[in-house]
Chains A and B, each alone.
Chain A
Amino acid sequence: MDNKTVETISYLARLKLDKDKKEKITKDLENIIDFVAELQDLNTEDIVPLSNPLEKVAPKREDSVTSKNRKEAFLSNSPESDQDYFMVPKVVE
């Protein structure tokens, strides 16, 4: 867990670490990764990964519209909007 890795994952997670905390958090991350590294030595041959403890199947929904228009409520809860849209600083593509 070097500085560059921390930079990369911070970028992916859109987080910036305060200068005074960066060193400590980097060290924490390193310790945590060391702590979980134990798993790497585990013999997991033929073990099917378990992503949800409920080994059931998903229910399927009928295709009928039941949802209401909540535009006003949604836009009024947003940090910035006009009467129709959510707004963000201009995106350049």
Chain B
Amino acid sequence: MSWETVIGLEVHAQLSTNTKLFSSASTKFGSEPNTQVDLVDLGLPGVLPVVNKDAFKKAIRFGLAIEADINQESTFDRKNYFYPDLPKGYQITQMTKPIVEGGSIDIDVDGDKKTINITRAHLEEDAGKSIHDAYPDKSVIDLNRAGTPLLEIVSEPEISSAKEAVSYMKALHQLVTFLDVCDGDMSQGSLRCDANVSIRKVGDAELGTRTEIKNINSFRFIEKAINFEIKRQIKVLESGEKVTQETRLYDSGRDETRPMRSKEFANDYRYFPDPDLLPVVISDDEMEEIRSTFPELPADKSRRYISEFQIDESEAEIISSSRELSNFFEVAVESKNDPKLAANLIVGEIGSLLNKDNIKIDESKLSSDNFNILLQRISDGTISKKIAKTILAEIWETGRNADEIINDQGLVQIQDESLLEEVITKVIESNTKQVEDYKNGKDKLFGFFVGQVMKETQGKANPKAVNDLLKKALNS
């Protein structure tokens, strides 16, 4: 029997605001426990929420990017349930009138394009953190995260494989980081995903019973967790049993999903409008301001790079796909460097160094200033592109100034024709056999002579000059 998978993702993106959704406490990650907790975040008796303007700006920016409808009047509701890291006993969320509705995200799976529709994206507050392994018989609570603004992005159940789910998450990741909506750091939980997975017989109109896998926090785990769950459900159905609608956790250590402790009664969240908050209205002026500060998205950037700088399409795509790389590239170009050369180095040498260390460009020791120097030295003929790679490797390790490296290691390119002629004469004299063959028509040997000259000059010879002078010498 053949089965098809239906997946919908609920992605929680922590918004990169300075303060929480309803309080003025910091949202910084990694601080001492319980030090970023306001009266409001502790849910003390008598405290009241006031919404953060920037959380709305970011949510709207996301909505505009996916071409969704923005509800200029949105409201907050309470979702009631008890949990120790939920200080008020309810979460403030947008159930009835979310800020963003509709829109879509394009994904690419092995070259096949697909559009995933978005149901809604709403603002809500994050819970604190419960830590269960600090004591044998206690759980402990850190409320630093409590109240951090989240944008919950809910997709339509249009994703049909784990691979597509990963592509969707990657596309979303790129988008939210580009928009400066979320820092995208999945290991810190800035972007996490709940996956609703169900399977049905191919051709069935009705959806199968779904399970929800909670809080998956890496691309790899999304793929593994969903694939495990698909196999598990198929096994259940093929053995004639039924899938239970439940919430499951992915255990990456065992590579399996397992049900969360089942509750005596099903939860009933008793949503109702939060009486402490009035409707939030975004004026036309505010919308205009958000539109006018809208950042350029990858596809637009790529197109612009090609038309404005005539760089390769593949290079343009790679650079524009990352916010950090495109910033780095744009700084270089703004400093009047050769765009093609800059792109070439960023995608080539720098790209492989980044991959090797698995870091982002702004986490490396290569500063934009130093990169500028390097590009200038190539353009003004001081060094060759080949030497530039050596210098980059050195900067990567030490962060030293490119000029210093060039001077200290004597890497300045040899342009002096008389000096080069001397070397060429030496090469011709010590390779008489090859000269003869060349003159007898073995043109391919030209490269051999270039190589020999380079070897003699430790690569510092200006390649164009070598070419010209060698041709003259050999054809004479």
Contact = CB atoms under 8 A, between A and B. Distances in A.
Interface of A: 8, 11-12, 14, 51-52, 54, 56-67, 69-71, 74-75, 82, 84-93
8 contacts: A12-B270, A57-B73, A58-B281, A60-B53, A74-B37, A84-B33, A85-B33, A93-B132
A89 B84 CA distance: 10
Interface string B334-366: 000000000000000000000000000000000
A58 B277 contact: yes
Contact of A12 (B17, B37, B137, B265): B265
Interface of B is mostly: loop
A9 B36 CA distance: 34
A70 B36 CA distance: 8
B278 A89 contact: no
Interface in B118-163: 130-132, 134-143
Interface in B29-60: 32-39, 42, 50-56
A67 B44 CA distance: 15
Contacts of B52: 60-61, 63
A16 to B, nearest CB: 13
Interface stretch (B19-27, B217-225, B298-306, B458-466): B19-27
B78 to A, nearest CB: 11
Nearest to A84: B33
Given A57-B278, A85-B131, A93 B260 contact: yes
Interface residues of B, number: 55
B21 to A, nearest CB: 10
B206 interface: no
Interface in B201-239: none
B268 interface: yes
B468 interface: no
Contacts of B278: 52, 54, 56-58
A87 B55 CA distance: 31
Contacts of B275: 51-52
A74 B36 CA distance: 11
A86 B138 contact: no
A11 B34 contact: no
Given A54-B278, A90-B132, A60 B56 contact: yes
Nearest to A85: B140
B33 A91 contact: no
Contacts of A51: 272-273, 275
A63 B22 CA distance: 10
